[in-house]
């Protein structure tokens, strides 16, 4: 197996990919491996929004005028933070701090998908 691309993905994206793979395997008379089944169960259990909505939210977060890394965007989509403190916890290890205004813009985008 060759690695084609490596990037952070959201739980809804993981669930969508594994569901597609499960359907393809079933059509071929096979099933997901144990680890894949567990990953699918986890992704379905903890996904808070649909895959399409997750992609839209990630695109909107990426378009904000301040730089958000792909890993942070994925974490925001997965956790769907409800408050400013939740967002600060996501960025706790950053060397710089986002302003109140920037955090408010993030919460505004997240609130559109609740």
Query: Tens digits of per-residue pLDDT, 59-90?
Result: 999 999 888 999 999 999 999 999 999 999 99
pTM score > 0.75 for this model?
yes
- How far is the CA of 27 from the CAs of 32, 39, 42, in angstroms? 12, 20, 23
Share of the chain above pLDDT 90, in %: 82
Q: What does R_g of the chain's alpha carbons equal in angstroms?
A: 16
* Residue 47 contacts residue 79 (beta carbons within 8 Å): no
Query: Which residue is listed with tokens 């259990």?
Result: 45
Domain 51-111: assigned CATH number: 1.10.150
Element at 69 (helix H, strand E): none
Outline which parts of the chain fall under CATH 1.10.150: 51-111
Vertex 10 angle, CA 7 and 15, to 5°: 110
Q: What's the burial of 67, exposed, middle or buried (CB within 10 Å: 0-12/13-18/19+)? A: exposed
- Percentage with pLDDT > 70 across the chain: 99
């Amino acid at each position: 197996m060759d690695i084609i691309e490596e990037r952070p993905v959201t739980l809804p994206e993981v669930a969508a990919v594994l569901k597609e793979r499960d359907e393809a395997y079933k059509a071929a008379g096979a099933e997901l491996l144990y680890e894949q089944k567990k990953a699918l169960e986890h992704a379905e259990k903890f996904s808070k929004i649909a895959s399409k909505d997750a992609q839209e939210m990630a695109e909107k977060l990426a378009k904000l005028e301040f730089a958000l890394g792909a890993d942070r965007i994925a974490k925001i989509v997965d956790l769907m933070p409800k408050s400013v403190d939740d967002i600060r916890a996501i960025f706790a290890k950053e060397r710089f701090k986002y302003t109140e205004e920037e955090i408010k813009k993030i919460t505004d985008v997240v609130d559109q998908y609740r």
